[in-house]
Amino acid sequence: MDGAAKAIFGFTVRQMTKSVKGMLFGLLLLVPWGAALLLRILMWQGVQVPMGGVSLYGILVLAYITGFLVPLAALFFGTSLVADEVEGGTLPYLFGRPVRREKVFLAKVAAMTVVLVAGACISVLGTYGLTLSIDGAGALSREAGTLVGDLATVSLAVLAYGALFSFLGLALKKPLFWGLLIGFGWENLVAWLPGFLKRLTLLFHVHTLLPHSAAPQGVIQQMLASTESRITALVFLLVYTAVFLALGCFLIRRMEASAAEREEG
């Protein structure tokens, strides 16, 4: 990454972390911690809770972090990566830097991915510690492999969703509206349906990669029962990510070409 791209990367990171959306993202990271603490409080009060720490951890990673937090954060940050520059009138200054337009796009996507991966992994780590400590210190070390798999899967999910919504931010006039339909309509409905159609969603492949599905014995494992291998899921996600990033690079080059044509005209 050259100096100009690094400057764009650093500026985007600072812009994200200091924005209102960044603060809201930080609050959303704490939600599963609150759920774990609530469970501990109930147990301290003598309430019989039929859910152990491992089960609670799996549900929070499955339903909240990969099913809600990651898509929502990628949606709000991804669709606004370039749209905010357009609305703020700063796009000409951004394009005026001595760096190719696709590098500008990729530097901003990389910055968004780093921030969201860091936040999502912090959320997973805190959730892991707070929930599995309920089952005793031995559970923390016993499930370490699951934690590593979750961190890798969540990071890949951020990359894939970030690429998708960054592309939508360039391709559509109302990317937030269409992103909500895709991220929380199509993804959360079709991913659970039988048949081939669910392979056109990111969420199905993310669920396949979650290590909780290794031994289909409990509720979480039954929910994650998959009809594809983890290698196939990984390939699908990487291909989808590459396609969305390539389309985004193509569109941002067209955006600059169109602006140049208008200036010449």
What's 117's DSSP letter? H
Measured over the CA atoms of residue 214, residue 216, residue 28 and residue 127, the dihedral's sign is negative
The reported pLDDT for the residue numbered 226 is 56
Please give the Cα distance from 254 to 248 (Å, whole number): 10
pLDDT per residue, tens digit, the chain (265 aa), is: 677 788 889 989 998 999 999 999 999 999 999 988 888 788 777 777 666 678 889 889 998 999 999 999 999 999 998 877 766 666 666 676 667 888 889 999 999 999 999 999 999 999 999 988 877 777 788 888 999 999 999 999 999 999 999 999 999 888 999 999 999 999 988 887 777 788 899 999 999 999 864 343 454 444 445 568 899 999 999 999 999 999 999 998 887 544 444 333 3
What's 170's DSSP letter? H
**What's the whole-model pTM score?**
0.86
The reported pLDDT for the residue numbered 199 is 86
Residues 6+ apart with CB under 8 A from 99: 2, 4, 5, 8, 107
Q: Give the residue ranges of DSSP H helices in 172-218.
A: 175-181, 187-190, 202-209
Q: Where are the domains of the chain?
A: 3-264
The reported pLDDT for the residue numbered 134 is 74
The reported pLDDT for the residue numbered 190 is 85
